[in-house]
Amino acid sequence: MPSPLTSLLHAARGAAIGLSEVVPGISGGTVALIVGVYERLITSAGHFVGSARLLLSDREAARREFAQVRWDVVIPVLLGMIPAVIIGARVLGPLVENHPVPTFALFLGMSLAAITVPAGMVGPAWTWPRVGLAAVVAAVVFLLVGVPPQQVPTHLVLVFLAAAVAVCALALPGLSGSFLLLTLGLYTPTITALNERQWVYIAVFGAGMVVGLSLFVRVLQHLLEKHHVLTLVVVTGIIAGAVRALWPWQDDDRTLLAPSGDLGLPVGLFFVGVGVVLGLAWLGRRGEEHQQAVEDAEEVAEAEHAGESRH
């Protein structure tokens, strides 16, 4: 049973993930990776989806899958994430729109520092072929996020499909669901629907998210479990290439421009963003170490209790 402090920390991590998802260019998956809950969330989501698929055909197998979901992590994260998305839609959206240069400078610093998280997790397993793979992935993502925004009709079928694609970015570090919606011209209608409680739009969007996540998360779970290092190498490349979306000086067609105007505030916020992420990553590692120590102690206590019971 997790302590109240642990649950509160997970809720705070969920809030950070939720806030990131309403800002174009910031990836909720990246934030989850930074704060140390990414792999547990993806693995839990994979087991939950597997349980749902097996429910009608093999209930015993469905129960085994369901039991592997880390509800002690998932529930607090969701409790923190959902209100943060609603609040962030009201606060961060206008902030990005009214003060884009300093806001994106802050996020640029955060994303550049975030590259160190998956790269550090690969650690000594880095080889020149893996460095090359990360560089190729970064180059491809760099080009993709430079595609000028499009405008698609806000037909509910397209809203459903856009949500299914955007939610994959939530699960994959480096890519921003909000940025994909912005590229498709659906970012503003989605934020408006959240703020004005347009329930039909929200329901269709939510259904698209559920379908998209259920199809994608099992793939990610498999990759993390069977090809852990290679997946982290690719994630490193994705985050590195996606920072292009956060360059503060670009026009409406996403053409990169040279820095201009008063640079003091943007540069200062850039380094604040770097410091915030490095601090969060450090806290995430400490939290992981503490949680692992608690779980190991609980396993030892259970083993000792079982041994005493046999005697």
pLDDT at 260: 87
pLDDT at 267: 93
Long-range contacts of 267-270 (CB under 8 A, 24+ apart): 267/105, 269/102, 269/103, 269/105, 269/106, 269/109, 270/105, 270/106, 270/108, 270/109
pLDDT at 60: 85
pLDDT at 294: 61
Residue among 241, 119, 232, 131 at smallest CA distance from 176: 241
Neighbours of 186 (CB within 10 A): 24
Sign of the dihedral defined by the CA atoms of residues 75, 45, 232, 2, in that order: positive
pLDDT at 126: 93
pLDDT at 14: 87
Contact criterion met (CB below 8 Å) for 36 and 287: yes
pLDDT at 265: 92
Residue 237 amino acid letter:
G
- Cα–Cα distances (Å) from 150 to 22, 97, 153, 162, in that order, read 19, 18, 10, 13
CA 137/CA 133 separation, integer angstroms: 6
pLDDT at 136: 96
Rounded to two decimals, the pTM is 0.71
Give me 263's structure tokens: 């640079």
CA 185/CA 125 separation, integer angstroms: 40
Residue 268 amino acid letter:
G
Contact criterion met (CB below 8 Å) for 34 and 185: no
Contact criterion met (CB below 8 Å) for 216 and 42: no
- Residue 250, SS3? strand
Contact criterion met (CB below 8 Å) for 204 and 156: yes
pLDDT at 287: 63
pLDDT at 93: 67
**pLDDT tens sequence for the chain (311 residues):** 567 777 888 888 888 888 777 766 667 777 887 777 888 888 888 888 888 877 777 788 888 888 888 888 889 998 998 888 888 777 776 777 788 899 889 888 888 888 888 888 888 999 999 999 999 999 998 988 888 876 666 778 888 888 888 777 767 776 667 777 777 777 778 878 887 888 888 899 888 888 887 778 878 878 888 888 998 899 889 888 888 888 889 887 888 899 988 899 999 999 998 888 888 777 766 666 666 666 666 666 666 666 666 55
